[in-house]
């Protein structure tokens, strides 16, 4: 395929100078100027909700001159509310007291699909069909099958590590869920729908038709049957762990109220700004400023044209920290994108409280500063890459992160031989390793029309067409201009991207880039970020203790969501305050063995491509019964028989997870993969750094031969049966040591043949075994170079020498073969001549 594309590319004229394109774009798209803050005296009627003494100082939900705000005001006037508050919130705008205003509804508005009660939080998924859904019905419908609502991937991953699933099934979610019967209900283009049908057929265990609600957590102190089951199978403690810790981020609840975790429900989880302290900082005197759990201001944050005013500043887009409110656990992509790596220490000290205090907790953790993702440094928000389908869902179930994500790096950057629009659909999003390179050469082109659901947000002028994702949907803010790609960011910038093919035709690729992308098959077999993620958060060993001696230690977030869903009072409740009866027995504590960040190991993801890996659910479980009996101590569970290379006993249920770390920057070095045992999957230092974890480690007075002397000696480090090394994925014989991805059956360690081709450990010996005097010829050259001070003592000189040796050896062999061939043919000719003479 790429030979054909390269031939086509060679016939094209050279692309224009990028500097000229940037200058033109800057003229065409100057930085946006923020509108002035709304004049509330002119905006509000000072009657009803905005009467003096009520919400007269509240911010408008959108800028007054926007289409959305004008629709709200017009609909409000239609139903007797000049300020439009009841269009979203319901209640009675004509009431003369807060209690009366915050009850009931406008019957005519309710009959027209508006609020049927007062909604303190109109964005809540339990009511937003009658608020947000008045204009965005298709997205409100899609939310129920979105991964942020079902969280099926987290549930499957945790149960997998506790030995519960019987195969790669994704059976459970926070709530029962079912796909629509009509395949055309899937949001997207026709090409996208057809593509997703093929994905579903390839991965039916991920793109499932339905989910069942997650089973209840055991209550061993109350239910004798649960107690006996827990004794028999301590893995049932997974349900306590999932419900109390893992599921607090789903859209059906407001979630944990800790610093950095404050957010809304449903649409408000992303579209309402919450500061890390969770305090209101707007102008409404009726909203307490000292009570956490409130939005920063009463305004929607969304796309490039959605201005939010707060504290004298104006901004557009959804800030990264909003996404990080949830994306700080598991793969930790949110904090990693910001350049934050979790730390066990609360250092350095900071000023506060009249002295020095520890670093404040954020998401209940502490961090060190790392290199930020290059996209973050360029001012790109999460939504500048991630599509509506990635976030809202497309209305159909996808049970793992890789499932709904439709973007690939090459959608914007292309390859050295193909522009983004010349790549076929599915490039970089294949279904298995066997599919790589089999997609044909039919270019995907660009889009000239947007699907209906994408027209509600900001869309850039298409110019030469909207860029398409790998799955066939247009990106409304990313367009083609000639051979350039323009990214109109949600934050207001317009970035000019110079595709790789354009750079290549101008000779703009560095030697390193040509080696990596042109002279090898890296692009055909690897994710771009396998090289370009120079660090990734690696928290090895997740030691989970569930202690059932505490009968009210944990909170059941799934039960809280169902109370919102199933009760009239819960439906309109804006939070989970006062629902203390939903507390669960079982105090959950988490610890790690150790943390790293450098040079993540490599493996194969569900698309069949080489990808970075980080520890996923590497669970070592300790379970304590209500009577103090230790039911499991540092137990590793196992996967079903004959899965993940584990044979009849199954594999250890600890997992290394394929990941896009969101730490993209300058490429990691060749040596960090080809000269690294860790990258190949053999563990940090090739397994030579840490001792096997099996067996207790006693540190006390011992004899020279290791016999413990003290009778009071205690184990310092408890053993973990079956575990050799948290970081080792395979041994050198190719035996798999833990699971690699548990969503897509095709994910796994680097195959044996690939590891063999990659391994360049100690290749220096190939030359240096002859240096300086093991060979006469080498000895002569070594002495001459020393005498002439030409020894290659530095990196560049060494690289030049290797290049000369390669070229010299190649030419000697080519000329030698050629000369030998000439001699051979000459000999044949002479023999033939001699034979002819004899015959004559």
| DSSP letters for 792-838 | --SHHHHHHHHHHHHHHHHHHHHHHHHHHHHHHHHHHHHHHHHHHHH
Is 647's pLDDT higher than 80? yes
With cut-offs at 50, 70 and 90, classify the pLDDT of residue 11.
low
Specify the pLDDT at position 748. Answer: 96
Specify the pLDDT at position 165. Answer: 82
In angstroms, the CA 755 to CA 284 distance is 62
**480-485 mean pLDDT:** 97
In angstroms, the CA 377 to CA 767 distance is 42
Give the tens place of pLDDT for each residue, 364-409: 999 999 999 999 999 999 999 999 999 999 999 999 999 999 999 9
pTM: 0.93
Parallel/antiparallel/unpaired status of strands 355-357 and 350-352? antiparallel
**In terms of pLDDT, which residue wins out, 196 or 690?**
196
- Six-digit token pair at 657? 């997870």
Say if CB 370 and CB 341 are below 8 A apart.
Answer: yes
In angstroms, the CA 581 to CA 552 distance is 9
- Six-digit token pair at 645? 């290379």
Specify the pLDDT at position 770. Answer: 82
- Residue 25: burial class (beta carbons within 10 Å; 0-12, 13-18, 19+): middle
**537-546 mean pLDDT:** 96
Specify the pLDDT at position 69. Answer: 96
- Of 639, 745, 611, 605, nearest to 202 (Cα)? 745
In angstroms, the CA 244 to CA 301 distance is 30
- Six-digit token pair at 117? 């009660």
**448-462 mean pLDDT:** 93
Is 417's pLDDT higher than 50? yes
Length of the chain: 840
pLDDT above 90 covers a percentage of the chain that reads 81
Give the tens place of pLDDT for each residue, 681-716: 999 999 888 899 998 999 999 999 999 999 999 999
With cut-offs at 50, 70 and 90, classify the pLDDT of residue 680.
very high
With cut-offs at 50, 70 and 90, classify the pLDDT of residue 13.
low
- Which residues, 6 or more positions from 72, have their beta carbon under 8 angstroms from its beta carbon? 61, 62, 84, 87, 88
**In terms of pLDDT, which residue wins out, 530 or 456?**
530
Specify the pLDDT at position 2. Answer: 46
What number of other Cβ atoms are within 10 A of residue 610's Cβ?
Answer: 21
Mean residue pLDDT of the chain comes to: 93
Is 793's pLDDT higher than 80? no
Give the tens place of pLDDT for each residue, 69-112: 999 999 999 999 999 999 999 999 999 889 999 999 999 999 99
Is 635's pLDDT higher than 80? yes
Specify the pLDDT at position 425. Answer: 96
In angstroms, the CA 758 to CA 714 distance is 44
**In terms of pLDDT, which residue wins out, 423 or 765?**
423
Is 10's pLDDT higher than 60? no
Is 792's pLDDT higher than 70? yes
Is 1's pLDDT higher than 70? no
Phi-psi region of 416 (alpha: psi -120 to 50; beta: other; left: phi over 0): alpha
Is 334's pLDDT higher than 60? yes
Parallel/antiparallel/unpaired status of strands 619-624 and 630-635? antiparallel
Specify the pLDDT at position 12. Answer: 60
Say if CB 604 and CB 573 are below 8 A apart.
Answer: no
**815-834 mean pLDDT:** 84
Phi first, then psi, for residue 308 (nearest 5°) are -120, 130
CA 514 → CA 519, 603, 679, distances in Å?
A: 6, 23, 22
Is 464's pLDDT higher than 90? yes
Query: Which residues of 664-786 form beta strands (DSSP E)?
Result: 697-698, 715-717, 739-740, 748-749
The domain segmentation of the chain, as residue ranges, is: 2-30+410-518, 40-142, 529-572+583-758, 767-791, 796-840
Specify the pLDDT at position 3. Answer: 46
- Which residues, 6 or more positions from 569, have their beta carbon under 8 angstroms from its beta carbon? none
In angstroms, the CA 269 to CA 429 distance is 29
């Amino acid at each position: 395929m790429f030979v054909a594309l390269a031939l086509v590319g060679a016939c094209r004229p050279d692309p224009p100078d990028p500097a000229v394109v940037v200058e033109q774009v800057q003229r065409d798209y100057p930085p946006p100027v923020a509108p002035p803050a709304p004049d509330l005296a002119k905006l509000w009627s000072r009657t009803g909700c905005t009467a003096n003494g009520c919400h007269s100082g509240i911010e408008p939900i959108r800028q007054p001159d926007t289409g959305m705000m004008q629709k709200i005001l017009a609909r409000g006037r239609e139903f007797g509310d000049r300020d439009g508050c009841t269009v979203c919130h319901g209640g009675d705008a004509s009431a003369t007291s807060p209690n009366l205003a915050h009850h009931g509804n406008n019957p005519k508005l309710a009959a027209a699909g508006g609020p049927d009660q007062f909604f303190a939080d109109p964005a809540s998924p339990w009511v937003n069909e009658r608020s947000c859904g008045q204009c965005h019905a298709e997205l409100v419908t899609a939310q129920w099958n979105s991964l942020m609502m079902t969280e099926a991937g987290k549930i499957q991953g945790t149960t997998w590590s506790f030995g519960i699933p019987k195969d790669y099934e994704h059976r459970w979610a926070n709530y029962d869920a079912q796909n629509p019967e009509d395949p055309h209900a899937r949001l997207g283009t026709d090409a996208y729908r057809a593509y997703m049908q093929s994905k579903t057929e390839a991965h039916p265990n991920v793109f499932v038709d339905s989910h069942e609600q997650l089973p209840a957590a055991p209550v061993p102190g109350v239910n004798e049957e649960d107690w006996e089951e827990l004794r028999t199978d301590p893995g049932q403690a997974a349900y306590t762990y999932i419900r109390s810790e893992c599921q607090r981020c789903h859209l059906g609840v407001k979630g944990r109220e800790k610093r950095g975790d404050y957010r809304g429900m449903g649409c408000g989880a992303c579209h309402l700004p919450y500061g890390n302290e969770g305090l209101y900082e707007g102008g409404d005197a009726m909203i307490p400023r000292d009570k956490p759990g409130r939005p920063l201001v009463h305004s929607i944050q969304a796309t490039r044209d959605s201005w939010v005013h707060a504290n004298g500043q104006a901004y557009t887009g959804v800030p990264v920290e909003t996404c990080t409110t949830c994306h700080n656990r598991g793969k930790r992509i949110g904090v990693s994108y910001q350049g934050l790596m979790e730390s066990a220490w609360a250092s350095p000290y900071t000023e506060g409280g009249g002295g020095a205090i520890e670093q404040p907790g954020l998401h209940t953790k502490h961090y060190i500063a790392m290199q930020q993702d290059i996209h973050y440094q360029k001012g790109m928000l999460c939504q500048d890459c991630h599509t509506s389908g990635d976030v809202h869902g497309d209305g159909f179930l996808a049970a793992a992160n890789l499932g709904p994500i439709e973007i690939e790096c090459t959608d914007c950057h292309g390859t050295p031989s193909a522009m983004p629009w010349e790549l076929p659909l599915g490039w970089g999003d294949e279904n298995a390793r066997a599919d790589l390179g089999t997609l044909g050469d039919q270019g995907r082109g660009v889009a000239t029309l947007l699907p209906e659901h994408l027209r509600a947000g900001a869309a850039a002028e298409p110019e030469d067409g909207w860029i398409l994702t790998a799955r066939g949907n247009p990106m409304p803010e990313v367009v083609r201009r000639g051979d350039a790609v323009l990214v109109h960011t949600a934050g207001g910038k317009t970035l000019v991207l110079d595709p790789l093919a354009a750079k290549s035709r101008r000779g703009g690729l560095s030697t390193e880039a040509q080696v990596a992308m042109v002279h090898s098959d890296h692009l055909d077999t690897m994710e771009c970020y396998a090289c370009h993620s120079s660090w990734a958060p690696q928290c090895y060993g997740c030691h989970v203790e569930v202690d059932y001696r505490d009968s009210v230690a944990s909170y059941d977030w799934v039960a809280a969501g169902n109370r919102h869903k199933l009760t009239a009072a819960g439906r309109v409740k804006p939070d989970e305050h006062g629902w203390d009866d939903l507390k669960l027995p079982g105090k959950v504590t988490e610890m790690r063995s150790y943390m790293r960040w450098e040079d993540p190991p490599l493996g194969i993801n569900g698309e069949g491509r080489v990808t970075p890996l980080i520890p996923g659910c590497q669970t070592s479980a300790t379970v304590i019964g209500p009577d103090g009996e230790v039911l499991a101590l540092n137990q590793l569970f196992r996967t079903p028989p004959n899965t993940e290379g584990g044979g009849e006993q199954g594999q250890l249920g600890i997992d290394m997870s394929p990941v896009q770390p969101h730490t993209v920057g300058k490429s990691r070095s060749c040596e960090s993969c080809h000269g690294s045992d860790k990258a190949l999957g053999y563990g940090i230092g090739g397994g030579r750094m840490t001792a096997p974890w099996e067996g207790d480690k006693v540190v006390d007075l011992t004899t020279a031969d290791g016999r413990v002397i003290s009778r009071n000696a205690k184990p310092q480090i408890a053993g973990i049966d079956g575990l050799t090394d948290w970081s080792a994925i395979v041994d050198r014989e190719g035996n798999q040591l833990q699971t690699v991805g548990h969503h897509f059956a095709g994910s796994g360690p680097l195959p044996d043949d690939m590891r063999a081709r990659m391994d360049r450990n100690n290749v220096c010996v190939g030359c240096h075994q002859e240096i300086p005097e093991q060979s006469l010829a080498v000895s002569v050259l070594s002495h001459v170079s020393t005498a002439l001070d030409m020894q290659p003592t530095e990196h560049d000189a060494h690289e030049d020498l290797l290049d000369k040796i390669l070229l010299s050896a190649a030419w000697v062999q080519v000329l030698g073969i050629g000369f030998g061939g000439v001699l051979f043919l000459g000999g044949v000719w002479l023999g033939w001549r001699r034979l002819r003479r004899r015959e004559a």
